[in-house]
Structure 1
Amino acid sequence: MAYLIGIDLGTTRIKAIVVDETGRQHRVVSAPTPSRDEGDGRVVYEGAALWSVIVRLIRELVSQIDPGQVAGVACASMGEAGFLVDDQGRELFPALAWFDPRTRPIAEELVARLGRETLRSITGLPADFTYSVSKLLWYREHDRARFQRARYWLNMADWVAFRLSGVAATDFSLASRTMAFDVRQEVWSSEILDECGLEASLLPTPVPGGTRVGRVTGPAARETGLPEDVSVCSGAHDQLASALAVGATRESRVLNSCGTAETILTALSADGFERALPHQEVVIGHHLFPSLFYGMTTLRTSGLSATWFVREMLTGTDPDYDELGRRAEQSEVGARGLRFFPYFRTSADVVGAPDAAMILGLRDFHTNADLARALLEGLSFEARRLLDRLQKGAGVAPKVVRAVGGSTANRCWMQLKADVMGLPLQVAAHQEGAGFGAALLAGLGSGLLTETDLNRLSEGSTRQFSIRAEEHAKYAGLYQHHLELLPLALEGARRAGRDERRGDVSPK
């Protein structure tokens, strides 16, 4: 029996999964993503710490199977973040997290020079500080001498493949998270790179997802326990790997990926790409395969909000989604007047949104059950808002939404989403969406699987949440109230943020 290994290098956890050629999952192992919090939203990842965890997880997997039967390995990862490596493959800087705010001024300067419309037209991306090109410019500004020693910039999944194979390559989906990739031409943009003073040779070769880029090297084999002849394949941005896992490589499918961040995503044809381009609230990028694109709307703090609430307000420990759901079910529709706006980190599509969440309507009779309900309702309203924007901008009209990710373990939350969105919600069979998608790409690149196999293995769901008519009717009005209160919540958060920076917390 042949095996495939998929790695999911996420913002908060690293997972590794082994599946066989029939798509059956044999084992999943995981560990927290090691990071260093430098305060004020600034977070970095050290290469040595990340690699140590990845090696340990791979060794744990291969100890349970016949390593000689492993055909391929691929990695999916968070977007935007990555490492600059020298000609010896050594990391020159810690990797800035995708959400690290210290690149804001540089991103603003770049937008001023090139213009939002130019950047949007070339890359499909709305102007934002998170993308890789701003990080490259920050590294150069921070330490030019060290920057000049750089041989390659590697997105996280590309870096893992590089550590395994010694080959620098990136797939289309991760390339399009750099804000330096011409998504129509599938090449690095000379216009953007020239304006930034960057050489295209610094960037890895763009290839379709699931391309065999090399094989496991001798040193990597000794570290991981993988044989040297195992195919190393290009992976994907984690959201696009999840899309592959549920069949959202077809325009009729809509994915709700529920992780630290939450996305609503659909595949787009070339014509669909052009139709969505004027709608700045929709992030457009290159999908995994040639001439295929995607439209995506994102809430950056979905799972993060739930984790914060459980840790700080309920159990004081790591996420217990079951307990969160049980508490929320003890309240009622509308959470007795409480409203939660989950913008712990700047919203990707709300202009001027601050890095602050807001709770409105808190009274002395409210309980933590009401707070839990308000949290899940607020997140569900945001999921509906993301879906509405995708429908308007990309012209999609889904009949069902396919959900994948850790948050789908919370049945209460998934039912609320179905009620609020007014669409049935199917929880995908493969809950390790990004890891399973990476394993499929390893199968494609190694020759073990065909595109027909990928379509077949992406079918199926474990359970479906149907719309409850009475609750949907109630939530229709509450959703409109959420939208009406949104400007008030954002302004309150902005004012609180200004007062905090001044050190002035006195009442006005």
Structure 2
Amino acid sequence: MEYYLGIDMGTTNIKAALFTEDGSMAAFSSEPTPVIHPKEGWSEFGPLELWSVLCRCIKKVVWETKGAKIVSAGISSLGESGVLTDAGGYPLNNFIAWYDPRAKEEIEELKRKIGNDRIYSITGQTPSDKYGICKLLWIKKNLSEAYEEASHWLSVEDWILYKLTGNYATDYSIASRTMAFDIVKLQWSEEILDAAGIAAELFPEALPGGTFAGRVTQRASEETGLARGTPVSVGGHDHACAAVAVNIFESGVVLDSMGTAEVSMVAVREPVLNREALGKFYSFYPHCGPKLYRVITSNQSCGAAVEWYLNTLGEEIRSRAIRSGKSEYDWMAGEAEQNARPEDAVYFLPFLRGSVENNQWKGCLWGIDDGHRQGDLIRALIHGICFELKKQIEGYQELFHQRFDKIRVVGGLAKSDFVMKQKSRIQGTDIEVPACVQAACCGAALLGAVGAGKQNIKKLGQFYRFGRRYPAENEEELLKEYQTYLKLREGFKELYNRIGEA
């Protein structure tokens, strides 16, 4: 039997998984992504530390399937973070995390030089300080010696590809998350790079996801346990890879990826780079497959909000879960179902890591009184996350003049029946959870198989299998709560606009 390796370099976890020829997961390994905080509020990833963790994960799945014939590998990764390397491929700085806020001056400078609308029309990205080029400009200004010595700028996917094969390449989706890639011409943007004063030679060649990019070197073989010569292909942005795994190429299907952030995505044939799309904060980028473009937006704090709650207000729930061996999600569900007062709802605005609209926004619990208990707060937390997704999907329907009547959910929170039931009640839309919830790994593995000539990209939809379905429900009271949420959100926006003006 032949196996496909899928790698996922995530914000929270680094994963490696082996899949059989029919798309079934045969082995899986995961470790937390090591994060460095060199200064309060700053977050970085050490390039060599990321590689070291990945090597352990790959070794584990190789060991678990001793004698397995691994015929391909594909790479999925978080976006927006990059590292400078010297001519010998040695890293000159750490990756700055996508949510690190230090590049505020750099995005403002780019917007002054080029303009919001022009940046959007070229790159498809809603201008923000999180993108790779802003991080690179910050490094150029603050780590000038590293910048002057550099030969390459590599996003996380590109770095792992280099470590595996010794070659330099990226894919369209990760290239787009630098905000320096022309998504219509499918090449690095001279206009953006000229305005930034950055040489195009720093950036690797951009290819469609699922393109062969090199073979595992002898050194990488020794470090990972993979056979020397194993074909490696570019995969893409983690959410784009997940979209391949759950077949969002079907009409009316939305990917809902509930990770550290919650990202929604649909596939389209052409980008719509107009004022309406920009006003909704929807980003477009190319990837691969029968519909080349992806439309993406996010709530930047989904799993991060749940983690925050369990580390602070919900410490007792975490302790109970550890003592009992029962899932934290199950304990949270029990509190929300048994000890909440829906008739006197608390509201949660889930912007603990800012918003795509304004990175300066913070989270908010609204409407608390001394009669509310933990169950009310948990209900507010989950509903706030679900309300934000509902707003995103309504925006897709308005922009593309079509109904999206099926949501496929992947990520950690997809394991919770309680969360999925709340989502189906609030969305009024069928919710599907795939049989394999490691969708980014699966998509990367399938794209690796395409690059190795083992699969046809036009037939990848056959690998999708759903595991659980939650039929659409419409509940009048929840729709009223949603309307209240939208009013609170608009008031919140006005408040931050006033603070910004002051």
2:361 corresponds to 1:361:
no
Question: What SS does structure 2 have at the residue aligned with 1:426?
Answer: strand
Per the TM alignment, residue 280 of structure 1 is displaced from its structure 2 partner at its CA by: 4.5
Which residue among 331, 334, 337 is the counterpart of 1:326? 334
Q: Over residues 234-277 of structure 1, what are the superposed CA-to-partner deviations in whole Å (9 max), with x where a residue is unaligned?
A: 01100101100110134532111111111111011126567975
Are the structure 2 counterparts of residues 168 and 251 from structure 1 closer, same or farther at C-alpha, using a change threshold of 3 Å?
farther
2:346 match: 338
TM-score by structure 2 length? 0.93
| AA at the equivalent of 2:385 | L
Per the TM alignment, residue 340 of structure 1 is displaced from its structure 2 partner at its CA by: 0.7
2:456 corresponds to 1:450:
yes
2:466 corresponds to 1:461:
yes
Per the TM alignment, residue 87 of structure 1 is displaced from its structure 2 partner at its CA by: 1.1
Contact 1:31 1:53 in 2 (8 A): yes
Per the TM alignment, residue 468 of structure 1 is displaced from its structure 2 partner at its CA by: 3.1
The residue correspondences of 1:43-192 to structure 2 (distance < 5 A) are: 43-66=43-66, 69-192=69-192
Distance 2:227 2:11 in 1: 29
| AA at the equivalent of 1:207 | L
Are the structure 2 counterparts of residues 272 and 247 from structure 1 closer, same or farther at C-alpha, using a change threshold of 3 Å?
farther
1:306 match: 306
In structure 1, runs of 5+ residues without a counterpart are: 500-508
1:224 match: 224
Contact 2:126 2:278 in 1 (8 A): no
Are the structure 2 counterparts of residues 128 and 394 from structure 1 closer, same or farther at C-alpha, using a change threshold of 3 Å?
farther
Contact 1:5 1:17 in 2 (8 A): yes
| AA at the equivalent of 1:445 | G
2:469 corresponds to 1:475:
no
Distance 1:286 1:177 in 2: 11
Per the TM alignment, residue 223 of structure 1 is displaced from its structure 2 partner at its CA by: 0.7
Distance 2:116 2:101 in 1: 19
Contact 1:297 1:390 in 2 (8 A): no
Per the TM alignment, residue 394 of structure 1 is displaced from its structure 2 partner at its CA by: 3.5
Number of residue pairs aligned between Structure 1 and Structure 2: 494
Per the TM alignment, residue 490 of structure 1 is displaced from its structure 2 partner at its CA by: 4.7
Contact 2:447 2:457 in 1 (8 A): no
| AA at the equivalent of 2:447 | L
Q: Over residues 90-135 of structure 1, what are the superposed CA-to-partner deviations in whole Å (9 max), with x where a residue is unaligned?
A: 1100110001100111111111101111101101111111111111
- What value does the CA root-mean-square deviation take over the aligned residues? 2.2
Query: Which range moves more in the overlay, 392-401 or 168-177?
Result: 392-401
Distance 2:286 2:295 in 1: 9
1:297 match: 297
Question: What SS does structure 2 have at the residue aligned with 1:42?
Answer: coil
2:491 match: 488
Per the TM alignment, residue 68 of structure 1 is displaced from its structure 2 partner at its CA by: 5.9
Distance 1:329 1:420 in 2: 16
Distance 2:407 2:63 in 1: 37
1:370 match: 376
Per the TM alignment, residue 39 of structure 1 is displaced from its structure 2 partner at its CA by: 4.7
The residue correspondences of 1:411-430 to structure 2 (distance < 5 A) are: 411-430=417-436
Distance 1:111 1:72 in 2: 42
Per the TM alignment, residue 373 of structure 1 is displaced from its structure 2 partner at its CA by: 0.6
Are the structure 2 counterparts of residues 473 and 270 from structure 1 closer, same or farther at C-alpha, using a change threshold of 3 Å?
same
Are the structure 2 counterparts of residues 267 and 342 from structure 1 closer, same or farther at C-alpha, using a change threshold of 3 Å?
same
2:24 corresponds to 1:24:
yes
Per the TM alignment, residue 182 of structure 1 is displaced from its structure 2 partner at its CA by: 0.6
Contact 1:287 1:293 in 2 (8 A): yes
Contact 1:251 1:269 in 2 (8 A): no
Per the TM alignment, residue 485 of structure 1 is displaced from its structure 2 partner at its CA by: 1.1
Contact 2:15 2:441 in 1 (8 A): yes
| AA at the equivalent of 2:142 | H
TM-score by structure 1 length? 0.92
Per the TM alignment, residue 219 of structure 1 is displaced from its structure 2 partner at its CA by: 0.6
Q: Over residues 182-223 of structure 1, what are the superposed CA-to-partner deviations in whole Å (9 max), with x where a residue is unaligned?
A: 101110011111111111111010001011100000110111
2:259 corresponds to 1:259:
yes
Contact 1:297 1:389 in 2 (8 A): no
Distance 1:456 1:490 in 2: 43
State the percentage of identical aligned residues: 33
Question: What SS does structure 1 have at the residue aligned with 2:91?
Answer: coil
In structure 2, runs of 5+ residues without a counterpart are: none
Per the TM alignment, residue 365 of structure 1 is displaced from its structure 2 partner at its CA by: 1.1
